[in-house]
Copies of this chain bind each other. A is one copy, B any other.
Amino acid sequence: MEKYYVGIDLGGTSVKMGLFSDRGELKEKWSIPTDTSDRGSHIIDDIVAAVEKKSEEVQGTIIGLGMGVPGPVSEEGLVHECPNLGWSEVAVRDLIKDKTGIARVAVGNDANVAALGEMWKGGGRGFDSIVMITLGTGVGGGVILGGKILSGANGGAGEVGHILVNPDETQVCGCGKKGCLEQYASATGVVRLAKKYQKPESVLAQKDKINCRVVFDAAKEEDPYALEVVDQFAKYLGRALGTIAQVVNPEAFVIGGGVSNAGDIIMDNVVPYFKESVIAPLRDTKFAFAQLGNDAGIYGAVRLVL
């Protein structure tokens, strides 16, 4: 019987799943909805059923299962709280192990697991230590050192979206603090800045609906207000990456998430601010874009058990 691995990226709306060969090739991917009713008490059973169904379908044995979950996870695969799923304390790893009988089960925080995936098969390939920054609706991060996820004492390592970058900020971040990186470098943050800097004469004011892409497109057309937004974005992000480098000195930063689709304009603006904020030996830190998109999570999850 063929041997397989399963990688799972558990999100608040859907559970992405990937079937991998024992050489780590993605054979097939599919997803099921996340049922957050009854405090998320059906989620584990739904996942177990989906895995068993797939196992029968391919007539193979699943010998390892890895999963990323959207919250802090202990080394023992215990989730303390995960509001997106309705979970309070859930022993994810033990439950999945018991219910599936799969010997090798590992669970990690989703941002960290995605970072591991990018290092294994994406933009971080060839490096041994990376910090991945995901610029999406929020700003997430994952720190991989010596090939291993750094979770931190409270599962809070890599929470780079909430680094304080502007003590003078007056608006409140989703986390309750003020002046977090996420308020400038997320898609939401870029739009917030655009609304702040737009003037009637700016291209930005002519658009019915400003989104992150509109702003970066306007900047590429040299709209001065959009350029100002991009400069603010780049300044806070570049300096925050500089600080991160002075703490963990990774070989490379891998930048992903929807905002990074703007392409070279990101690196062209962020890297100079990075370089001027760090000591000389760190100025050659590499920068790469993430390559796996939404699949980073399933790749990283499998990497946890491969």
Closest to A240 in B: B243
Which of B154, B158, B279 touches A156 (beta carbons < 8 Å)? B279
Report if A242 contacts B (CB, 8 A). yes
Q: Known contacts A153-B285, A285-B153; decide if A164 and B239 are in contact (CB<8 Å).
A: yes
Could you say how many copies of this chain the assembly holds?
Answer: 2
**A163 and B243 contact, CB distance less than 8 A:** yes
Report if A177 contacts B (CB, 8 A). yes
Residues of B within 8 A of A150 (CB): 145, 248-249
Chain A residue total in the interface (Cβ 8 A): 45
* Complex alpha-carbon distance, A167 and B145, angstroms: 29
Q: Give the Cβ gap from A251 to chain B, nearest Cβ, in Å.
A: 4
Which of B157, B175, B243, B251 touches A249 (beta carbons < 8 Å)? B157
Q: Give the Cβ gap from A284 to chain B, nearest Cβ, in Å.
A: 8
Q: Give the Cβ gap from A268 to chain B, nearest Cβ, in Å.
A: 20
**A247 and B247 contact, CB distance less than 8 A:** yes
Q: Give the Cβ gap from A233 to chain B, nearest Cβ, in Å.
A: 15
What mask results when residues 229 to 261 of chain A are scored 1 for a CB within 8 Å of chain B, else 0?
000000000011011111111110000000000
Q: Give the Cβ gap from A80 to chain B, nearest Cβ, in Å.
A: 9
* Complex alpha-carbon distance, A72 and B280, angstroms: 12
Residues of B within 8 A of A176 (CB): 280
Residues of B within 8 A of A162 (CB): 246, 278-279
Give the interface SS of chain A, mostly helix, strand, loop or mixed.
Answer: loop
* Complex alpha-carbon distance, A10 and B175, angstroms: 45
What mask results when residues 270 to 306 of chain A are scored 1 for a CB within 8 Å of chain B, else 0?
0000001111111011000000000000000000000
Report if A101 contacts B (CB, 8 A). no
Interface residues of A in 148-173 (CB under 8 A from B): 150-160, 162-164, 167
Q: Known contacts A239-B164, A239-B167; decide if A247 and B279 are in contact (CB<8 Å).
A: no
* Complex alpha-carbon distance, A234 and B10, angstroms: 41
Which of B167, B244, B276, B282 touches A154 (beta carbons < 8 Å)? B282
What mask results when residues 100 to 130 of chain A are scored 1 for a CB within 8 Å of chain B, else 0?
0000000000000000000000000000110
| Residue in A156, A159, A175, A276 whose Cβ sees the most chain B Cβ within 10 Å | A156
Which of B160, B245, B276, B284 touches A246 (beta carbons < 8 Å)? B160
Closest to A239 in B: B164
| Residue in A153, A175, A177 whose Cβ sees the most chain B Cβ within 10 Å | A153
Report if A226 contacts B (CB, 8 A). no
Listed A/B pairs (8) with beta-carbon separation below 8 Å? A153-B250, A156-B279, A162-B278, A163-B247, A167-B239, A175-B279, A175-B280, A177-B276
* Complex alpha-carbon distance, A152 and B164, angstroms: 23
